[in-house]
Amino acid sequence: MKKIFTLLTIACTFAISAQDEAPKLSISGSVDVYGTVNSVDGAGAPGVLIANPENANGFGLGMANTVFSYDGAKSGVVADIAFGPRADDANMAGAINQLYAYYNLSESVTITAGQFNTFLGYEVISPASNFNYSVSYLFNAGPFSHTGVKLDYAVSEDLSLLFAVTNGHAITSDDASSTGDTQFGAQIGYKGQYLNFIYGTVDQTSTSDNLFLDYTGGFDLTDSFYVGVNAAYAYSDDSEAGYQGLALYLENSFSDKFALGVRPEFFTTLSEADGDTDVTAITLTANTKLDDNFTLISELRFDSSDDYAIEGLPSEKDATVFTVAAIYSF
């Protein structure tokens, strides 16, 4: 009897372990809406809508985002679906924001194939993951996502490496990559600081020598005060055009539910043919968590450009925009 009981115990243990290791489906996402008003005649709110910021004024919809993730011990898939005006320019193929499969070659090496959000930059597409509601000029300069293969290598607890081979980031899954041109990407991360590199084509009509350099990181100066940094440079010698910029993210948490932040940004579009254009944007943000799922973001943004380079308001040198956004995450 003892032997039978022992065998049953071992069998139950294996069954429980097998269940623990079985792939698990998880569903998450967010929805957001906003109200905004500017200081000039007509519509327009820089950074509020990624695709068409000139259409943002009054009340509007951001995006509805649902992420289906099926994770196993060694492999898994992610299907990230996003609808709405905010998602239109970021989605590369219809409603697909991300769609990829991954396999863990070891505890420290993962290979991913499909369409995945870019590893460049500080901000992301979903407003639920950003402190600010409007996005920066650096974010809108792209890239947003890549289609191809990447390898992540966690060298140690502090050091990580990434290598990627993808289509040009403006070539969507709906496009035929007739030229066969590619981009090569790499990242080195150390203690939360990331240096990113991309080289290659952007789309089927672009030059093939487009270089993107990006630094993204941040520092906790105190228990409540955080400074984030995003600096980027992009240029093509063949097209003699590119951009450069710097954005700082100064955020102070007064409690678990309330924080204030300032995002100063300086952005320049580089062009040998048309001349460089500069724009400065300063964003003041109050981020309030009403509960575990519901966040209210109040934002006052000042954009200024003597070169008429304000996004969505090309006829203005200065613009002030006030926005209140409600974001629900699940």
Instruction: Decide if 270 is inside a domain.
Output: yes
Q: Burial-class residue 252 by CB neighbours within 10 Å (0-12, 13-18, 19+).
A: middle
Distinct helix (H) and strand (E) counts, the chain: 3, 16
> Binning pLDDT at 50, 70 and 90, where does residue 205 land?
confident
Average pLDDT estimate for 197-202:
92
Instruction: Decide if 13 is inside a domain.
Output: no
Taking only the tens place, the pLDDT of each residue in 258-315 is 999 999 999 999 999 899 999 999 999 999 999 999 999 999 999 999 999 999 999 9
Report residue 308 as tokens. 């008429």
**Model pTM?**
0.89
User: What CATH number does the domain containing 56 carry?
Assistant: 2.40.160.10
Count of structural domains within the chain: 1
Of 39, 174, 165, 32, which Cα lies nearest the Cα of 93? 174
Q: How far apart are alpha carbons 197 and 94 in whole angstroms?
A: 27
Helix (H) / strand (E) element for 18: namely helix 2-21
> Binning pLDDT at 50, 70 and 90, where does residue 8 land?
very low
pLDDT at 204: 74
> Binning pLDDT at 50, 70 and 90, where does residue 91 land?
confident
Of 236, 244, 251, 286, which Cα lies nearest the Cα of 265? 244
Instruction: Decide if 168 is inside a domain.
Output: yes
Longest dimension (CA), the chain: 89
Contact criterion met (CB below 8 Å) for 312 and 147:
no
Gap between the terminal Cα atoms of the chain: 50
> Binning pLDDT at 50, 70 and 90, where does residue 1 land?
very low
Q: Is the pLDDT of residue 92 over 90?
A: no
How many other C-beta atoms can be found within 10 angstroms of the C-beta atom of residue 180?
A: 8
> Binning pLDDT at 50, 70 and 90, where does residue 170 land?
confident
pLDDT at 182: 87
Instruction: Decide if 136 is inside a domain.
Output: yes
Least confident of 10-14, 141-145, 283-287: 10-14
- Residue 195: which domain range? 24-329
Instruction: Decide if 2 is inside a domain.
Output: no
Q: How far apart are alpha carbons 195 and 217 in whole angstroms?
A: 9
Average pLDDT taken over every residue of the chain: 90
Q: Burial-class residue 101 by CB neighbours within 10 Å (0-12, 13-18, 19+).
A: middle
Instruction: Decide if 243 is inside a domain.
Output: yes
pLDDT at 60: 94
Instruction: Decide if 279 is inside a domain.
Output: yes
Instruction: Decide if 10 is inside a domain.
Output: no
> Binning pLDDT at 50, 70 and 90, where does residue 53 land?
very high
